[in-house]
Structure 1
Amino acid sequence: MVVLAASVVSKSGKVLVSRQFVDMTRIRIEGLLAAFPKLVGTGKQHTYVETENVRYVYQPIEALYLLLVTNKQSNILEDLETLRLLSKLVPEYCYSLDEEGIGKNAFELIFAFDEVICLGHKENVTVAQVKQYCEMESHEEKLHKLVLQSKINETKDVMKRKASEIEKSKIDKNRGDKGGFMSMGSGRIETSFSDMSISSSGSGFGSGSGFGLTTDVDSFSTKTKGRQPSSATAPPKGLGMQLGKSQKTNQFLESLKAEGELIVEDVQPKVGQSRVAAPPPTDPITLTAEEKLNVTLKRDGGMSNFDVQGTLSLQILNQEDGLIQVQIETGGNPGILFKTHPNMNKELFSNENILGLKDPNRPFPTGPAGDAAGVGLLKWRMQSADESMVPLTINCWPSVSGNETYVSIEYEASAMFDLRNVLISVPLPALREAPNVRQIDGEWRYDSRNSILEWSILLIDNSNRSGSMEFVVPPADSSVFFPISVRFSATSTYSDLKVVNIIPLRGGAPPKFSQRTNLITENYQVV
């Protein structure tokens, strides 16, 4: 038996992978492979074709042919045995048996072919042996990697010690002002409650209106984080000194946190984990339209829940701009139900799409620049059973092969939105080391503490509406990889709500305003 070449050829005649085993010119090999599609024909049951000089032994694999080119004196039984062994190797290295999958793993296939056939003759090997030979594990290489990793860890330890020394020096400097530190906490709380009383009395709303209460609570929660209000509001006497002390307190607490003090977690409020806080507004009037998405997808296809809840909030920096009305436009989606705040004029909104207070002589409340929550004007909700409304679908295929589990995950995004900061979290079984990620469109990170594989894509737009990831873990049940959690954001919404104009009730030119639009995920899972 003499095998001249082993190839993977598409049914259209395109050569995807080819390995030559004997001394023969390239033009000769290309001519033999180019003649193969013309000789196969249709409707034939046998898997070989003979010409005057060579014999083609082939096997269909979906839309491809696995082909051996041998001389006519070769033993057909040995040729078929070699072909069967190669046909078992192709799926081992190419998880998608198409042109793209073969092209991505062409070199791995060539190396495997070399282990099976040497100088045109078949080697006595099995599939497991071929995979072991191709891995080419080296004890020296592993030892080198361990030494390199130990050096990296040692460098990190040195960096931590240096950082700790710097933080200790800062703490020693701050300890000189212990008296000021004792009054910092009370100073911050007094600042917040003083601002609350001013807001509730000067906004033009009663204590039971609902607007003043929401604004005051948000103002208190944000100012405990050390944010300094702008000069647009009228701060009480001594507010600047108290805020300066508050900033020093935060620096001191950060220093304690670097040293691992547990008390810091009880003192400092936790920042929301789902998204980063929006930057403070710079325009006199800012309107924010935000939608929160709750979606539950089924692992076998379909959707069990789709719910969108949106809010339109108003932020005014200066009190003189409080006497206004807001004119809006919606996308006209009949499935969206809008509901105004109880203090809003419902007839004015339903007839003219204008948001204004029932009492036109009462102004909207104002808030500091650091308070990004604003005042809620409008709420809406949309529920649907139409799967085409889902912005991102996830398809997960775990399959066990031998002592390994191969997991293929793909996403498909609709053209409705450009998704930003996409994070797909896949739960994994308890592992001693990170999974073997063989292919990914984007970046990945393994959270060993929670045993979660995080797949992140910075931006999904028209250039990458679909993508995939493949990884390998030890044998595990398919239910371990669910539920898959998804997080992302977008700058457009389902309601397509737009602020058209700001109408001043005292006359004059309309004040300058800006609009922010944001779509975020609140609970997005594949179960």
Structure 2
Amino acid sequence: MTIISVSILNRSGKVLLSRQFVEISRIRVESLLSAFPRLIGSSKQHTYVETESVRYLYQPLESLYVVIITTKGSNVVEDLETLRLICKLIPEYLPIYASLDEESIVEAAFELIAAFDEVVDWGGLRESVDVQQVHALTEMFSHEEKLANMIKESKMLEAKEVAKRRAESLSREKSEREKLHKLGSDFGRLQGRSFGGISAETYQASMAMPETGFTFTGMSNYGNLDSKSLQSSAAVESSKVVSAGIGGKGLSLGGNRKQDAVLEALQKEGELVKSSNSQTGIFSEERKNRNLNINMKSPVLQEAVHFVAQEDIVLEMNRDGVIHSFEIKGNLILQVSDSAKASIRIHTKLGDMEAFQVRTHPNIDKNLWTSSQVLGLRDASRGFPVGSPLSILRWRLTSSEEKMIPLSINCWPAESSTETVVIIEYELVAIRELENVAIHIPVPKSASTPKLRGVDGEFTFNSRSGMVEWNVSIIDKDKPQGSLEFVTEPAAATSFFPVQVSFISNEIYGDIGIESVRGSSDESEYKFSFEKLLTTERYSIVHD
């Protein structure tokens, strides 16, 4: 048999990796591979196809194709064995816990080419090897490299320690200089009020003199001063300063007129405007921080085995509510914090998931999942990673039905000769409760600060970004609808799009749950925690 090339392509025919084993030009290989997607057609009965000059043997692998190009005189049975061996090798050389996708193939391209070279020699003949033998042949260990790396790491750690000690030393010196300078300046100001002035350098020099007395140059009126009289005068000055600070009104910034002027100036700048819940229109920093932090109302107490069923929504629809694209991307994420519970099997509980495309992680035992809906590693001795989250199950749903979206948004800019009135409405649709809802509406830079007419929630205008920010803490069945109305200078309706929306919820679309978690070897049952989270990856309302 003669194998010309081993290649990995995506479903659209893009070449991710190709290894040739005979003398052949790159243009010829690209020509053969570009013709492959047109040859396979829709038939699923065969895994090979022939042309006048070559034979293609292929096998689907997740969303990819593994393709072997051979001569027509090659033994098709042996070639199929070679194809199956290569398909077994590919997941073994991907990064640990990586998905079988384009990014992983490109990242592991060097290792895959080395493995292919062990299976097929130069000339296109198959080597008599299996998966374990290929592993042994491709493993490379160099004692010199290990020693060089150890020396390099040791030097880096030593350099970091030296830099750390030097930084601490400079910090201490700087702190001491600042303290000494401050002490001299304070003493100089005190002496200036009592005796006519003294510099910090003079004070530092005086600290080294005996306590019996010293004389200041140019201060003949006062003569000699001993340390006791100096201390008493310092105490008097200190008491004067303290009493003045307590008895007087001090630097008070109070006064309603000044405060109103500051607020008015801020409003003219467009930083903050009036909201429905506040007369001044200024939200406290604490409220802003709460809006930035996504906190569910009932946080789950995490066990050593914790699951998160998370879904991200990607949606684009126009201002009339017509959906352009709507996709839900779900992940079942596992996080193990106890190494004793890493070797486990997860018994899932699935509801109606026929409309979803469900896919397991490449290292999950697919036969076990298909037969009993149990998630377990193909090699149970390896165990799941400890301390880092891992997506073990994915699902995907696309739809164009308006009743499926969580939140419907309608935006109605009405332009006249003197102003533009913008009315935005929302309505809860498929999800029963949404939290931390934020709707951002762009405003033309040429327009003035928007004037609020009415809002359900909180209204803020950010002049720097040119965005109207509409925040609603919760939308549920008790109040599923709301609206915002504001006025600005005349502007085209298209300038108020796209409208961006973000929110979170503890309700998801996929009907998935965890029934139990058991050990892979002893079937002992472990406690686990489970939570659901719905977020937005991109939720846009465009003009058309």
Normalising by the residue count of structure 2, what TM-score does the alignment of the two structures yield?
0.45
Larger Rg: 2
